Structure 1
Amino acid sequence: MSDIVIGGDLTVNRLGYGAMRLSGDPGIFTPPKDRAAAIAVLRRAVELGVNFIDTADSYALGDNEKLIAEALRPYADGLVVATKGGNTRPSPEEWVPFGQPAYIRQQVELSLRRLGVETIDLYQLHRLDPALPIADQIATVADLQRQGKIRHIGLSEVTVAQLQEAEAVAPIASVQNLYNLVNRQSEAVLEYTAERGIAFIPWFPIAAGEHAGPDGPVGKIAAEVGATPAQTALAWLLRRSGNIVPIPGTSSIAHLEENVAAREVVLTDAQYSVLDGLASQ
């Protein structure tokens, strides 16, 4: 499995880790109940060669960023920590986009402080605020980039048209959209980013549903290649396009090790073709 270069200068392995699940509740609202265990997962990820970690200021109201710093500072050379901003959490059930310039500037300062860095490697707008022009939101982040507080700019859950509008203001290094074996609603965005050399970071990358059962196509192919259904789903993603950087998240070291081992799973052309056709079934 090859590396990918994000933004022209951030070289990372193409299987990262999403830290969202290191929370104490399903709503991703509170700190982990077992902080030592969460720290152990982060450290094990780095030991396994993961050098791209994704978080957000809205995960556990910022504690997720603090947790990463607590576990991994001083950061290893080449370790890229990406974070996101622009989603507020009024309650455990709510995720509300908010892109006012003063708010974004404040959140970047807080993320810098919690992560313990002078520059955020990759800062992604978690969601675009529908109440504000896209150009204005990108201009705010681009100004922070010029100040040296952000190295590269990313977006999350955008359409091709929105991405193009953002690109007219500043270079976009990554897009993080929902995408997996059975949910291909962002296919057009994936194709566009691949053409443009933009990293595509699929969140919720392992969903396979009933297909992953022993008698389903994912389960059958997993048995053929000596892998788990989760590993097989990740292997399909890694082969699907060279700009894809899956970030499976877990609070379990065992599941982490399983996910990372997907880098070694090799699918035949026939197996890949079967998996590729699942979205239309």
Structure 2
Amino acid sequence: MTSTTFRIGGDLDVRRLGFGAMHLPTEPAPDREASVAVARRAVELGITLIDTAHMYGAGANEELLAEALHPYPPELLITTKVGVWRSVETGEWGLDARPSVLRTQVDDALRRLRVERIELLQLHRIDPETPLADQLGTLRELQTEGKIGHLGLSEVTVAELEESRKIIEVVSVQNRYNVLDREHGPVLAACEAAGIAFLPWRPVAWGSSGERAEISAVANELDASPTQVTLAWLLGHSPVILPIPGTAKIDHLEENLAAEHVQLTSSQRDRLDQLAKQATA
């Protein structure tokens, strides 16, 4: 039986199937009201891991979650990301993990989320223009100051993960990964070996018509949706995988969570395993 929970960093117990808040609209009503309802429904349904980032609306997504969920249930973990910054001059987004920027973004996140400490903070991307020791050293200082509980990374290579672990304790990695896109399989393997949580972004993806047909065929056999099949595949693929599918609709949210109850047979899993090979052939 696939486990439905995971302990991040040794003390953060979460339900493995989480929620990515990126797709929640933050505009005024009625869209905002609908987003608040989705976030609240996620918690009602037992989700204990919600992922957001400074980049999602320049902090507006963090503010939305606070509006919807604060004061937070003690079991709820909201993780956010820093290190991507919008230029004042051009208005364009880009990587920027200079110490001053990271400190500002962390302080802003604390204010927007209405907390004194971010229990899990992830570096959105490694900034190639800033020494890694400066980026991670700043986050480690903020951790020592009590503003951050645990630290994670996003979209890193195996080499970058290894180098980062010499500077900080890495408890999570958020890389792109799904049944059709397994480019970061070596990173997942490294996370498995170290007991690091792996949060795949874009956990549901569609390839060619043939690949979609195979997923749909498995879904029909199980009386499930293709989305549920792809999420069930992730949950059974590795015990360190914590999918964070996102949606702005309550019915899709409920459909996603029901993937926990979809049990793939070994034959069905083998068929799905072959799809990544076909996609890269």
Q: Which TM-score applies when normalising by structure 1?
A: 0.94
Aligned residue among 189, 199, 202 for 1:201 = 199
Aligned residue among 241, 245, 258 for 1:244 = 241
3-state SS, counterpart of residue 121 of structure 2: strand
| 2:98 is the counterpart of 1:100 | yes
Residues 138/32 of structure 1: CA separation in 2 closer, same or farther (3 Å cut): farther
3-state SS, counterpart of residue 143 of structure 2: helix
Consecutive unaligned residues of structure 1, counting only runs of 5 or more, are 25-29
Spell out, residue by residue over 1:117-149, the C-alpha distance to the aligned partner (whole angstroms, 9 max, x if none): 111011000011011121221111011001110
Spell out, residue by residue over 1:11-63, the C-alpha distance to the aligned partner (whole angstroms, 9 max, x if none): 00000000000136xxxxx6786111000000000111100000001111111
| Residue of structure 2 in register with 1:176 after alignment | 174
Q: Which TM-score applies when normalising by structure 2?
A: 0.94
| Residue of structure 2 in register with 1:49 after alignment | 46
**Percent of residue pairs bearing the same amino acid type:** 51
Aligned residue among 84, 87, 91 for 2:84 = 87
| Residue of structure 2 in register with 1:135 after alignment | 133
Distance in 2, matches of 1:31 and 1:203, equals 27
| Residue of structure 1 in register with 2:259 after alignment | 262
3-state SS, counterpart of residue 78 of structure 2: strand
| Residue of structure 2 in register with 1:27 after alignment | none
User: Contact conserved, 2:177 with 2:200, CA < 8 A, in 1?
Assistant: yes
Distance in 2, matches of 1:33 and 1:141, equals 37
Distance in 1, matches of 2:185 and 2:111, equals 36
Spell out, residue by residue over 1:249-273, the C-alpha distance to the aligned partner (whole angstroms, 9 max, x if none): 0101111111111011000011011
Q: Which amino acid aligns with 1:105?
A: R
Distance in 1, matches of 2:188 and 2:271, equals 20
3-state SS, counterpart of residue 59 of structure 2: helix
Distance in 1, matches of 2:61 and 2:72, equals 16
Distance in 1, matches of 2:115 and 2:158, equals 32
- Following TM superposition, by how much is the alpha carbon of 1:2 offset from its aligned partner in structure 2, in angstroms? 2.5
Aligned residue among 271, 277, 280 for 1:280 = 277
| Residue of structure 2 in register with 1:219 after alignment | 216
Correspondence list, 1:149-168, <5 A: 149-168=147-166
3-state SS, counterpart of residue 124 of structure 1: strand
3-state SS, counterpart of residue 279 of structure 1: helix
User: Contact conserved, 1:212 with 1:229, CA < 8 A, in 2?
Assistant: no
Residues 18/148 of structure 1: CA separation in 2 closer, same or farther (3 Å cut): same
Runs (4 or more) in structure 1 with deviation over 2 Å come to: 30-33, 89-95, 208-214
User: Contact conserved, 2:25 with 2:32, CA < 8 A, in 1?
Assistant: no
Residues 175/93 of structure 1: CA separation in 2 closer, same or farther (3 Å cut): farther
Q: Which amino acid aligns with 2:13?
A: T
| Residue of structure 1 in register with 2:113 after alignment | 115
3-state SS, counterpart of residue 60 of structure 1: coil
Distance in 2, matches of 1:150 and 1:79, equals 16
